[in-house]
Amino acid sequence: MKQRFYAVNYSKSLICVIFIVFVLQTSTYAQSGKKPKGRGQWTEKQAWDWEKKHDVIKGFNAPNAPYPGVGRHVIFRKAADLGFNSVRTWLPGRPETHIKILHQILDEAAAKGLTVSPVLEIKYWLKQPDLIRAKADAEAYVRAIIQEFKNDSRIILWDIWNEPELAVKEKNRNDYTWLKDAFIWAREEAPIQPITLSSIWLYEPDFHDAKAQAWHDELALMNDVHNFHL
């Protein structure tokens, strides 16, 4: 397995900034020969081609809602003036409004020369009382939003879940199974953008359970590219 680490420069000038490093790798998942409907996991060449195309990503985390008295377009303008070229953002409001909101965010970001990394809100459905119905709704959400934007070059990558807490096995069994399925749902819609998961944010000692560590490792190998939160 070949790996290359390269830094994404972040500034502390804006709130909620995370330092991210992307790791490009080929996994056994990609080499398994399984070809799901849509597209498979990216090959190492696809990951390298993506890296060469976009070079260093200088991004920041956008708040769910603009700061009081400061519109999102103003935040994006200030970010561009500071040298940022990308924004990672959660989608505010209820899930049924997210396609409309993402259209607005993409238009505003592109006007300032910023690409966008949307963070999907799948965890919203884990709070619902009927998890069987909730999972079906979550699948419909993931498929609909990726289908809408799967060929949109303004999206730099899809982050399907922010910092899943997999270190506690019993507490997060549903997180693990839903995350595996979310990768499949997203990939079956064949987006041109890479699919990633912000799972690499805990240190090794945080995994007190071997099963939880195995879950984490399995999910890590399903990414097209990785993003590290340090």
Give the pLDDT mean for 71-91.
Answer: 91
Strand partners, 90: 119
Kindly report the pTM of this predicted structure: 0.79
Residue 71 has pLDDT above 70, yes or no: yes
Collapsing DSSP states into helix, strand and coil, what is residue 196?
strand
Q: Tokens in use for 94?
A: 């209820």
CATH of 5-164+177-227, one of 3.40.640, 1.10.10, 3.20.20, 3.30.70: 3.20.20
- C-alpha R_g of the chain: 17
Query: Residue 201: how many CB atoms within 10 A of its CB?
Result: 15
The torsion angles phi and psi of 95, rounded to 5 degrees, stand at -55, -35
117: enclosing H helix or E strand: strand 115-119
The answer to whether 200 and 163 have CB atoms below 8 angstroms apart is: no
Average pLDDT over residues 86-114: 91
123-154 pLDDT, tens digit each? 778 788 888 899 999 999 999 999 999 999 99
Q: What tens digit of pLDDT does each residue of 175-225 get?
A: 788 888 999 999 999 999 999 987 776 655 455 677 777 877 888 888 999
Residue 70's pLDDT is what? 83
Q: Which residue stretches of 150-209 are H helix?
A: 173-188
Strand stretches in 5-85, DSSP E: 5-8, 20-23, 59-62
Q: What is the DSSP letter of 118?
A: E
What is the C-alpha to C-alpha distance for residues 195 and 162, in angstroms, rounded to an integer? Answer: 13
> In this predicted structure, what is the pLDDT of residue 94?
78
Tell me what pLDDT residue 183 has: 92
Tallying the residues shown for the chain, one arrives at 230
Q: Where are the domains of the chain?
A: 5-164+177-227
Closest CA to 165 of 153, 154, 174: 174
Alpha carbons 88 and 86: distance in angstroms, whole number: 7
* pLDDT confidence of residue 16: 35
Both structure tokens of 146: 């990726």
The answer, yes or no, to whether residue 105 has pLDDT greater than 80, is yes
